[in-house]
Every structure is written in structure tokens, then in C-alpha cells.
């Protein structure tokens, strides 16, 4: 086995993300412990950071005292089975920030401005100079900490090659140039990459943001900028040309800026496919009704199109009363950003709609909607995915959408179910054998639901087997490898593949 330390082709990876791959929790006795995050991103990226002796820079999920020293980050618990268990505390750099400043940066600018605007919802976007100033400040703070990480990395004798700094998501779009300035003063060599997990909007939406030029310049501070799909790449290239007057090459996805050529790449994220198959194989039955179940699984967020989905289901019941009593819709919604007013209002609207539709159609022994407002464990989730007849993934706009992929991985029963996906999610662009459903068109959406429920077994089997084959091949490890390749670096098979 070639390990990161003894292979000359290995380069350290420094990941910079708003949150660390685990959060710190303070126990009642004042002791600090780690709480691992379970997402696919962490599962794929953490092993590469660990093996390449890299580092992870991020906010630890709580406000630490000003004089907090990273040497006090606890090591992982011996019982920790998570992908970050092998990440030593010396590989973690915490970004600590004044709570009021963090609030204006995170709930103000990131979630109040960038989130709705990048999802093409300008009506929900708040434009505030104070929030923007906080965003600039916090991005500088992340950049300073990243340069500390680069210095630590260059002192580590076991490391080879030029380290790669990989910045994630809409929280940190300004970091790159600050990192460049600070690290170049110190003569540190590195490569910079960025990946956006949400859509990049078209120019006519993007230019509404008063500081849109600064965002583009920030992202162009990188050597490579990645998005889920080609459309987002083209939107970005278009904005660079029209806002900044950059020379661009649309065919090869290149942008000239500041004497450098920046590569723009579609890198569609995948899921740990085999792990979901394993979970689905072992999971106990949780759906015990005889009814066919239509399933929705989402964070409770206005971009996910939950209100439209409930209304489409109501139209479906009106137009197809033959399904009454035989089908139910199960929506699992994880609470998200609960301290923001808009999300509280969405929760109220959902409660009312579910109540109204159930009141209208329920019989003494059946009700059309089951609604779980909470987080379910991964094994339980796999059982829902496995036993559902239809998955309804209908966001109004979504960077990719991992739920569509997780459902497909867990469909191990014969005959399989049907995936319905919105064309406005990245997943809708890549999962060609799913049924497409425009969430704004309620009548048509109702007909798609009926088509899914009445689809012949042969057609279901063919569609699902093709979907599963693609997702297995393009899993999250494949994504990680594609990223390293886009950076001109190969990864040994041994260094990836821990998601299995």
C-alpha cells in the first residue's frame, strides 16, 4: 500500500468550509467533545485530508472564548466510527468570531442574501451594506486562518508537492484573493480551488447584487472553480465576461483574469452509493402500511418546493380519486435555520396545508398525508427510501439534490419504485431516466404522480437499473477523484474508497 506520506505524487489538501467536519460540544462538566457530521461531503473528503496530512479550517459550531487555543481541541473518542475519527486535533484550525459579527455574516449575508439570490429568488433577497461588510470581515478571518494552516503544512516534513487549498461554498466566495495576498508575502506555494454547492444564477439575476463584481473577483482568485453542472459554469463565465469584461473561452470553460487563466469545471457531486445499499440491505422495515407510499425528504427550506408539492398532491387527489384510500404521501422535513423568520413562516404554512388537505380527504381509516417534522437516522432513512413506491424530489431550484441519489441507491426491492425529479435541480440534469416534473405546474405535476403510480413494471425496472448504474459509477469517491484530476493530481485507489 502506498500511503500519502511516501508517495511523491501526494499533495496535502487544506479544506476551508464554513463548518468544520465535526462540531464541538461542551459537556455539563465543562469538557469539550466532538460531534461528527454524517454528510457525504465529509465522508469523501475527510479520508483524503487525513491521509495526505492536510488540514481542515472552519467554524466549530459554537462560539469559543477569544483566547481559545486549537491545542485544546479534543482528539476523537476511541469509540468514534465516523470518517473524521482519524483527523487529529493538530489537523484542525478553528475560526473563532465575535457572535454579533458571525450572525450578520451567516444569517444576514449568507442565508439572507446569497442563498435566495443564487437560487434565483430575488424577491426573498435582503440587500444590506452592513451584512456585506460583515461578510467581507469574516472572509478575511477565514483567509488568515487558512494561511496559518498553509504555514503549518509547509513545516510538516512528511508532505510532498504544492498543497491544494479547497474552499467550499457560498459562505466563502471572497477568501481566495486574501489568501493569495497573505501567502505570497510569506513565499508559500499553493494551488487554490473553489466549489459551489448551490446553483450559480444567470447574469440578469446575479447583477442585482450590488457587490457582484467583488464576488466574481473573489472566485477568480482561484486556479479552478467547480460547479455541479455545465449550466452553472456557463452562467459564471457569462457573468465574468459581462460584469468584468474578462476574455472567456466558453468551449473550454476558461476565464482570463489578472494575467491568469482560471479553469471552470462541472464536477457533479455523488453519494456514498455502496454505503446506502448496505444500509438499505440491513435496515428494519419502518413503513408498515399496505398503502403505496409517495416519499418526500428535505430540509424545511423554501427552495425545496414543499408547498407546491403538497398542492400538487391535493390536485392529484382531486383528479384521481381512484387512488384515495390506497396511496399516502409521507413528507419528512428536517428543521433548518429555525431562528430565521422566513423559515418559521414556512413551517406554519406547511402545518396549515397538511391539516387542510388531511381534513378534506381523510376517511375514518385513512389519511392522505403523513408529515414528520424532524431528523431521522440514516438507517431509518434508508428503509423509507427502500420501501417507497415513488420519491417526489421537486425543488423550485437546487444545486444538485442528494435525496434523489440516495433514493435510487436504496431501491433494492423488486420491482423497484419510480423517481420524480424537478428540472430545476442539478439532479434533474443528470438523472435522465427519472420522470421530470415542473413544480410550478400543479396539474401536470398531478399527472406525473399518477403516471409514476401506474407505470408498468418493465418500464420501472429499466429506468431504475439505469439510474442505479450511473449513480454507482459516479459516486462521491468518483467526485473526489475528478476534483483531484482537475487540479492535475491523481489519487491512489487506496486513499479513497473508505465510503464503502
Taking the mean position of all CA atoms in its chain, how far away is CA 274?
Answer: 19
**In terms of Cα–Cα distance, which of 402, 384, 380, 381 is closest to 393?**
402
Cα gap 298→397, rounded to integer Å = 13
| C-beta of 2 vs 375, nearer to ligand ADQ | 375
Nearer to ligand ADQ, 175 or 381 (CB): 381
Asked if 370 is part of the footprint of ligand ADQ (rule: CB under 6 A), the reply reads no
- Which residue from 298, 387, 477, 495 is in contact with ligand ADQ, where contact means CB under 6 A? 298
* Closer residue to ligand ADQ, CB minimum distance, 89 or 120: 120
Tell me: does residue 197 bind ligand ADQ (CB under 6 A). yes
Decide if residue 277 touches ligand ADQ (CB under 6 A). Answer: no
Going from the C-alpha of 376 to that of each of 80, 277, 331, 381, 388, the distances in angstroms are 20, 17, 12, 6, 16
Q: Which part of the chain contacts ligand ADQ (CB under 6 A), choosing from 51-59, 73-81, 341-349, 402-410?
A: 402-410
Closer residue to ligand ADQ, CB minimum distance, 198 or 396: 198
The answer to whether 335 contacts ligand ADQ (rule: CB under 6 A) is: no
Closest CB 403 distance from ligand ADQ, rounded Å: 5
CA–CA distance, 322 with 56 (Å, rounded to integer): 54
Choosing from 45, 391, 400, 480, the residue that interacts with ligand ADQ (CB under 6 A) is 400
Interface residue with ligand ADQ among 64, 198, 240, 434 (CB under 6 A) is 198
Stretch that binds ligand ADQ, among 204-212, 243-251, 305-313, 374-382 (CB under 6 A): 374-382
Alpha carbon of 459 to those of 421, 452, 454, 464: distances in Å? 17, 10, 11, 8
The three grid cell numbers given for residue 371, joined into one nine-digit string = 408529515
**3 state SS of 125:** coil
Q: How far is the CB of 380 from ligand ADQ (least distance, A)?
A: 8
Q: Is 381 in the site for ligand ADQ (CB under 6 A)?
A: yes
Q: Looking at residues 69 to 128 of the shown chain, list those that interact with ligand ADQ (rule: CB under 6 A).
A: none
Strand order in the sheet with 55-59: 92-94, 55-59, 13-19, 164-168, 191-195, 224-227, 260-266, 254-257, 248-249
Pairing of strands 254-257, 390-393: unpaired
**CB closer to ligand ADQ, 115 vs 313:** 115
Q: Which of 198, 197, 190 is CA-nearest to residue 223?
A: 190
Of the residues 401, 430, 498, 499, which one makes contact with ligand ADQ according to CB under 6 A: 401
Q: Identify the residue among 375, 441, 490, 493 touching ligand ADQ (CB under 6 A).
A: 375
Look up cell 434508508; give the residue: 382
β pairing state of 369-373 and 390-393: unpaired
462 binds ligand ADQ (CB under 6 A): no
Q: Where on the chain is the footprint of ligand ADQ (CB under 6 A)?
A: 197-198, 269, 297-299, 332, 334, 375-376, 381, 398-403, 406
Amino acid at each position: 500500500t502506498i500511503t500519502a506520506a511516501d508517495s511523491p505524487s501526494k499533495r496535502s489538501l487544506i479544506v476551508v468550509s464554513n463548518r468544520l467536519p465535526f462540531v464541538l460540544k461542551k459537556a455539563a462538566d465543562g469538557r469539550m467533545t466532538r460531534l461528527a457530521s454524517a454528510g457525504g461531503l465529509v465522508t469523501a473528503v475527510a479520508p483524503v485530508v487525513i491521509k495526505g496530512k492536510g488540514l481542515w479550517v472552519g467554524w466549530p459550531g459554537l462560539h469559543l472564548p477569544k483566547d481559545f487555543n486549537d491545542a485544546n481541541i479534543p482528539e476523537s473518542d476511541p469509540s468514534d466510527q465516523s470518517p473524521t475519527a482519524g483527523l487529529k486535533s493538530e489537523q484542525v484550525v478553528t475560526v473563532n468570531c465575535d457572535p454579533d459579527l458571525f450572525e450578520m455574516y451567516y444569517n444576514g449575508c449568507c442565508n439572507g442574501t446569497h442563498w435566495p439570490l443564487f437560487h434565483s429568488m430575488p424577491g426573498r433577497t435582503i440587500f444590506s451594506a452592513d451584512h456585506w461588510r460583515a461578510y467581507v470581515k469574516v472572509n478575511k478571518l477565514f483567509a488568515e486562518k487558512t494561511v496559518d494552516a498553509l504555514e503549518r503544512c509547509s513545516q510538516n516534513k512528511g508532505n510532498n508537492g504544492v498543497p491544494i487549498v479547497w474552499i467550499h461554498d457560498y459562505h466563502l466566495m471572497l477568501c481566495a484573493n486574501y489568501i493569495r495576498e497573505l501567502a505570497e508575502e510569506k513565499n508559500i506555494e499553493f494551488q487554490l480551488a473553489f466549489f459551489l454547492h448551490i446553483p450559480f444564477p444567470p447574469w440578469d439575476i446575479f447583477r442585482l447584487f450590488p457587490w457582484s463584481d467583488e464576488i466574481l473577483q473573489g472566485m477568480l482568485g482561484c486556479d479552478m472553480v467547480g460547479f455541479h453542472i455545465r449550466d452553472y459554469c456557463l452562467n459564471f463565465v457569462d457573468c465574468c465576461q459581462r460584469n468584468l469584461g474578462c476574455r472567456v473561452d466558453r468551449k473550454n470553460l476558461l476565464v482570463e483574469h489578472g494575467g491568469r487563466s482560471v479553469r471552470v469545471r462541472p464536477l457533479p457531486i455523488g453519494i456514498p452509493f455502496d454505503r446506502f445499499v448496505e444500509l438499505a440491505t440491513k435496515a428494519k422495515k419502518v413503513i408498515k402500511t399496505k398503502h403505496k407510499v409517495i416519499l418526500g425528504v428535505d430540509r424545511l427550506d423554501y427552495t425545496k418546493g414543499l408547498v407546491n408539492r403538497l398542492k400538487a398532491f391535493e390536485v392529484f387527489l382531486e383528479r384521481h380519486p381512484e387512488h384515495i384510500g390506497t396511496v399516502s404521501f409521507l413528507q419528512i422535513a428536517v428543521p433548518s435555520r429555525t431562528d430565521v423568520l422566513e423559515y418559521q413562516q414556512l413551517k406554519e404554512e406547511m402545518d396549515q396545508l397538511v391539516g387542510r388537505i388531511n381534513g378534506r380527504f381523510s376517511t375514518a381509516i385513512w389519511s392522505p398525508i403523513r408529515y414528520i417534522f424532524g431528523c431521522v437516522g440514516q438507517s431509518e432513512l434508508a428503509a423509507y427510501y427502500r420501501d417507497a413506491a415513488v420519491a417526489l424530489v421537486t425543488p423550485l431550484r437546487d444545486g444538485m439534490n442528494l435525496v434523489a441519489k440516495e433514493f435510487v441507491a436504496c431501491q433494492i426491492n423488486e420491482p423497484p419504485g419510480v423517481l420524480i425529479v424537478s428540472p430545476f435541480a442539478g439532479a434533474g440534469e443528470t438523472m435522465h431516466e427519472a420522470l421530470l416534473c415542473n413544480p410550478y405546474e400543479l396539474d401536470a405535476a398531478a399527472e406525473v404522480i399518477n403516471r409514476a403510480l401506474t407505470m408498468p413494471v418493465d418500464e420501472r425496472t429499466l429506468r431504475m437499473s439505469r439510474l442505479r448504474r450511473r449513480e454507482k459509477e459516479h459516486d462521491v469517491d468518483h467526485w473526489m477523484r475528478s476534483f483531484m484530476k482537475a487540479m492535475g493530481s491523481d489519487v491512489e485507489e487506496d486513499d479513497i474508497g473508505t465510503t464503502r
